[in-house]
Amino acid sequence: MLSQSTEDYLKAILEREAGHGAASTTGIARILRVSPASVTGMLKRLGRAGLVQHVPYRGASLTATGRRVALRVVRRHRVLETYLAAKLGYGWDSVHAEAERLEHAVSDELVERMAMALGEPRYDPHGTPIPTAAGLVESLQGTPLADVSAGELAKLLRVSGRDPELLRYVASLGLRPGVRFEVAARQPFRGPVTIRVLGPPVREHAIGGELATRLLCEVVPREAG
C-alpha cells in the first residue's frame, strides 16, 4: 500500500509529463501547493522506491512502475467523478473535489464495480479519457476553440481545467462535451470568438480569448452535421 502523499505525487508528475516532458520541481510544487524543498525531498524517496527517475535541474519522470501506479490513481479519480455525476446527481463542477477526497479511500475492486455499473465509460464528465483497468489511456485530442475558423461546425470534446466557477459558466452557455456549435465570428489577436450553440434552443455567445483556449473541440464536416 502506498501513502496518499505518494499517490498524489505520482499523479502530479504524470500530469506534468503529459504537457511538458519531464516534470519540474516548481511545476509539481504548484500542482500540490507545497514548497519546492518538500518536492525535492519526496522525489529522492520516490527515486529510491523505483517509482521516479529524477535528474536535478532537468526534472522528474515516472518509471514504468510509477506510471502504472499513477494511471491506476487517475482511473480511480475519473471513474469516481463519472459515478458521482451519472448515479448520484452531482454537477460536473463539484465532482473533482469529491473525487479528490475519495480516490485514496476506495478499493480498486469498488472502482471496477462502479465502472461496470456505468458500462465501462471512456470519458469523465469533463470529456477527459479514463485509463482502462489495464493501464491504457487515449491520447488527448482536440483543437482549442481559439484556433477554429469562422464558419466551421465543431463539437466540444473537453474542458481544460477543473475550476468550479469556470465549469458552471461553461454549462450556463449550454456547452458540455458532445454539444455542437458553429463558430459565427472571431476577432483577431486572440480576441473574442462568437459561437452559435445548435440547441434547441439556438443560442449565441461571445467567448473570451482565454476561455477559448480551454475549450478543446473537434471540427465536424458540414455533411455530418
Whether 78 is covered by a domain: the verdict is no
Question: 181 is in which domain, residue-wise?
Answer: 143-224
Structurally, the chain folds into a number of domains equal to 2
Distance CA 90, CA 171 (A): 14
Q: Is residue 184 part of a domain?
A: yes
Residue 34, Cα to own-chain centre: how many angstroms?
21
Q: Is 16 domain-assigned?
A: yes
Q: How far apart are the first and last CA of the chain?
A: 49
pLDDT tens track, the chain, 225 positions: 789 999 999 999 999 988 778 899 999 999 999 999 999 999 999 999 999 999 888 889 999 999 999 999 999 999 999 999 999 999 999 999 999 999 999 999 999 999 999 999 999 999 999 999 999 999 878 999 999 999 999 999 999 888 999 999 999 999 999 999 999 999 988 899 999 998 778 889 999 999 999 999 999 987 644
Cα 198 to Cα 120: distance, rounded to the nearest angstrom: 29
The CATH number of whichever domain residue 50 belongs to comes to 1.10.10.10
What's the pLDDT at 4? 93
Q: What is the CATH number of the domain that holds 154?
A: 2.30.30.90
